[in-house]
Amino acid sequence: MSTSEGYIKFQCDWKKEEIHISPPDFEALQHWRKTLFDLHLIGALPNGIGYGNISIRATQTNQFFITGSATGHIDELSENDYSRVISYDIEKNSLQCIGQTKASSESLSHGAIYQSCPAVNAIIHIHSESLWKRYLHDYPTTLQETAYGTPEMAYEIIRIIQLSENQHQGIIIMGGHTDGIIAYGQTMNEAGTILLEIINQR
């Protein structure tokens, strides 16, 4: 991951106020975020730039709760370390969010998946050089020239996820975002289990 990544590149309309996540959703977020943090798949570089994030859909909407910007270094998050994305515009590279912290810099990629796949309710974005190199082009992979943090990346994710042969893969390799891998599923446990399966493949 380059040091130029990890910063919010989109326009973020943020209202600082309390949010409340349902206990089952918060428990699922906390369990998988801590699991992946302990595996160093979500965290922060020595220079403090965070990597990786996790989100869950707000019931029956395209809104979602996602780990906040600059929280990658925190061992165990509180509710204040999440943000609720309430609207987003991929073309304008902008979003609106509420919470005690701003939404993650990868929020539009998450939004693209939630918008495209009503059955998806949980998304995990990790960083792993070894897994990225192992599975590049073995799983659906975004175009290498498509840059991280751009509307083009969100549209590329939509293109890939809408292909019939990719509908049940649950994994996207970010070809233009070195080390970046996205897992998604109907539940957080499904998305997390998909990741663990590719980690344990030999």
The structure's pTM equals 0.92
pLDDT band at 20 (very low <50, low <70, confident <90, very high): very high
pLDDT at 50 over 90: no
pLDDT tens, residue by residue, 59-101: 888 899 999 988 989 999 999 999 999 999 998 889 999 999 9
DSSP codes of every residue in the chain: --TT-SS--SEEEEEE------HHHHHHHHHHHHHHHHTTSSEE-TTS-EE-EEEEE-TTSS-EEEEBTT-TT-SS--GGGEEEEEEEETTTTEEEEEESSPBPTTHHHHHHHHHH-TT--EEEEEE-HHHHHHHTTTS-B--TTS-TTSHHHHHHHHHHHHSGGGTTT-EEE-TTSTTEEEEEESSHHHHHHHHHHHHH--
pLDDT band at 161 (very low <50, low <70, confident <90, very high): confident
Top CATH class of 11-200 equals alpha beta
As to burial, measured by CB atoms within 10 angstroms (0-12 exposed, 13-18 middle, 19+ buried), residue 48 is exposed
Give domain limits for the chain: 11-200
pLDDT at 31 over 80: yes
pLDDT band at 162 (very low <50, low <70, confident <90, very high): confident
Residue 3: the pLDDT is 37
User: 170: Cβ–Cβ under 8 A, 6 or more apart, which residues?
Assistant: 183, 184, 185, 190, 191, 194
